[in-house]
Structure 1
């Protein structure tokens, strides 16, 4: 019955249906499609983003990946604060350790080990970051099909965060092929000036479900130390992969 409608809720649901149908749109496209002014559309999108119904990538919006996932995916069952391999990696590296999970074309990064306290952790430290600009994201992207890699790179619309950011899709896909072969990804100031990062993928049943990473400032972690650190990160990722697969098998 028209008299019982909540207009703002109706507009929000129209936007969700629109993004489900057309996948990815910018604010202007959405405003025109549902015949609502940009200010109102922006406020509704902000609310939907806060509630994790949509995700913003560059200047465009798409539905949050969680809407397409099973209620309890494997990666959602990972208890980072229980994985002792992360603690060993943090103690060896004497640095914070991070865990990354792919959310559409973005990567969500959580602090998994805090060097200052020497304790395992499990807390989100940043919002969505373009996966193609970070080692944590690239380590996972490298395990996907070439067509999916290209789709997500295009969805990122990374622009040029720094002078080291990849902007050419062909070059980026070749870069991902090297990452897959070597088993780790490195990020030399691609997302933030002066920041270095190395990451390795974590697998469950041969599918990359996450990555673990160590990052620090260039003046604190020179490239000369990266080789030794990379081996530690790769070994820790393999250990977590074994632990995760054992745990999942026990549930079957």
Structure 2
């Protein structure tokens, strides 16, 4: 039987594409009215309203005095990978969390913060907690540190120059020189560890998600230090790297 090839556009979901175009436009313009968006994309009023209503309902867009803008959930530094990550990362993230029984996350970079983009809660009654949209300084967590370690050098220097090294615990890196050396170790080993740097009694391990040679986010597991102890670092890191590679391949 002769193999048939179809044009890529046949598989496009037009409604999804319109929604993503609106998000991208709001990222560039910051604030837009319904009529402005109608004109920009040649859409009728009913279609534009339904798209904006859905995005608002999902928490990606907010409306104030007839003006629409992005929320923190969408991220002011929105890029096309974010939406794809939210859909594609769920199955491998769920599988990882179920296997290890700890909370699993996806984190993205936003300025000098890392923002939680996806969460699958662990099964234990005592476990790490986070919510989508939660943010923290990038140097505090394994999620943030592994993204920093895999950034292009110029971008890394720019962020480090703007970063305020707040101290959460005695284990937090607050010396810039030591942090830079620590990032070299992370880059070499391929994963990062938050050894009670964000919160005492809590440990986290993270691996980068790479697409087209660039780090776009990170995947992590977090739990109490009594369960997620140092003896498990190698085993957990291998599972994380496998999960991140799976997501990268899907992207």
TM-score bin, normalised by smaller chain? 0.5 to 0.7
Verify the 8 A CA contact 2:108 2:217 in the aligned structure 1.
Answer: yes
Structure 2 partner of 1:228: 235
1:149 is displaced (CA, Å) by 2.2
1:214 aligns with 2:221: yes
TM-score (ref. length: structure 2): 0.63
Q: SS of the residue aligned with 1:186?
A: strand
Partner of 2:180: 173
Is the aligned partner of 1:134 residue 2:141? Answer: yes
Match of 2:210 among 187, 203, 217: 203
Q: What is aligned with 1:75?
A: 82
Q: How does 1:185-196 map onto structure 2 within 5 Å?
A: 185-196=192-203
Within the alignment, does 1:161 sit opposite 2:168 as a pair?
yes
CA contact (8 A) 1:83 1:240 kept: no
Matches within 5 A, 1:40-55: none
Pairwise CA RMSD: 2.7
Which SS does the other structure have where 1:211 is aligned? strand
CA distance in 2, matches of 1:91, 1:128: 24
The reply to whether residue 107 of structure 1 matches residue 114 of structure 2 is: yes
How far, CA to CA, are the matches of 1:224 and 1:82 in structure 2?
27
For each residue in 1:48-69, what CA deviation from the matched residue of structure 2 results, as whole angstroms up to 9, or x when unmatched? xxx7689xxxxxxxxx972x65
Query: Given the two structures, how large is their TM-score scaled by the length of structure 1?
Result: 0.63
The answer as to whether partners of 1:109 and 1:124 remain within 8 angstroms in 2 is yes
Structure 2, unaligned runs of 5 or more = 1-29, 31-63, 125-129
Say whether 1:241 aligns with 2:248.
yes
Say yes or no: does 1:93 pair with 2:100. yes
Aligned length: 179
Q: CA deviation at 1:74?
A: 1.7
Instruction: Return the alpha-carbon distance in structure 2 between the equivalents of residues 124 and 225 of structure 1.
Output: 25
Structure 1 unaligned blocks of 5 or more: 1-15, 17-46, 55-63, 118-122, 245-252
